[in-house]
Amino acid sequence: MQTRDLVAALADGRDWSGNELAQRFGVTRAAVWKRLAELRRAGLPLAAMAGHGYRLALPLELLDAQAIRAGLPPLLRARFADLAVHWDIDSTNSELMRSAAAHADFAVCLAEQQHAGRGRRGRQWQSPLLCNIYLSLLKRFDCGMGSLSGLSLAVGVAVARALEHCGAPALGLKWPNDVLAGDAKLAGILVELGGEFLGPCYAVIGVGVNLYLPAAVREAIDQPVADLAACCTPLPSRNVLAAALLAEFARVLDQFASDGFAALREDFAQRDRLLGRALVLSDAAGSHSGVGAGIDARGALLLRQGDTIVRFDSAEVTVRKA
């Protein structure tokens, strides 16, 4: 009995008794119960109804490459021909970075779970089985790496649009890589670059979206977090959500490749959750206090310190508590 096959059965919408699962997979009921206990420990929301059986308590589904492509606008399907779904992987970003030479533009890697998911600055990204979206996309550019300033902000605009299209409330963006529901993190972005510094180059764009965060996973995260299960009714299909993300990536990345971040600056500004807030920034030069003053045309964060505006291309940002 493979875990993937058991999860697929539990996700089909019906209740399965222990006996039915044992017969379907040719194992003992004890083996079924042992595997169900493993899934609970992994954080899957299992419902056990007396006299009815077992099923997933939320409409989570396995990712399916064919279903994702079918959810794309017809004109975009050919662009996403190189789309792979993995059951378990170290990191979708790592997979595309080490295999970039074998992939064409707009190659996509998704996974049901990651055992070494990564966030910005090497932080761990919690990646429980089936609960969320872990997606990376390879985008090739003719220009050099210096022309990609603001790319993570442009991707943030695309992610926010896609999630709202799937039923999320109006979302905010926190420079440089967070998508927020209220002041809680709903999605994160990791952009890694490769190729030639002066061009051509490529970006591997990783996105993690919280659909459902088990309690144990929430406890392991050291910042306020949100999930779509709490703010979307009904909870969107994972395959529909993946397709929505890819469709927005295509639109935004085409615009970025043509016109840079400046063309998306206003879209970001309308969602900017740091604008006008008291901030503390930390970088190699130390700590800097001020008030968020927006984003410039290159994607740098603007910090007002008295009558002076200071630009930051990279820093850790903390919002001061009132």
Largest alpha-carbon pair distance within the chain? 74
CA distance 257 to 141: 7
185 given a catalytic annotation = yes
CA distance 313 to 224: 24
CA–chain centroid gap for 108, Å, is: 13
pLDDT in tens, 134-155: 999 999 999 999 999 999 999 9
320 given a catalytic annotation = yes
DSSP-derived pairing of the beta strands 201-209 and 178-181: unpaired
Structure tokens at 207: 């996105």
Asked if residue 305 has pLDDT above 90, the reply is yes
Residue 311 pairs in a beta bridge with 302
pLDDT > 70 in the chain, percent: 97
DSSP-derived pairing of the beta strands 178-181 and 172-174: antiparallel
Asked if residue 50 has pLDDT above 70, the reply is no
Domains of the chain: 3-56 (1.10.10.10), 65-269 (3.30.930.10), 278-319 (2.30.30.100)
Residue 49: half-sphere exposure toward Cβ, Cα within 13 Å:
10
Structure tokens at 223: 């910042």
> What pLDDT was estimated at residue 120?
63
Asked if residue 260 has pLDDT above 90, the reply is yes
Q: Which residue among the candidates 4, 79, 120, 298 is catalytic per the annotation?
A: 120
CB distance 202 to 179 below 8 Å: no
pLDDT in tens, 73-126: 999 999 999 999 999 999 999 999 999 999 999 999 999 999 888 766 666 666
Q: What is the mean pLDDT of residues 234-256?
A: 96
pLDDT in tens, 171-217: 999 999 999 999 999 999 999 999 999 999 999 999 999 999 888 88
Residue with tokens 């890694």: 192
CA distance 317 to 185: 14
Q: Which residue among the candidates 69, 118, 185, 273 is catalytic per the annotation?
A: 185
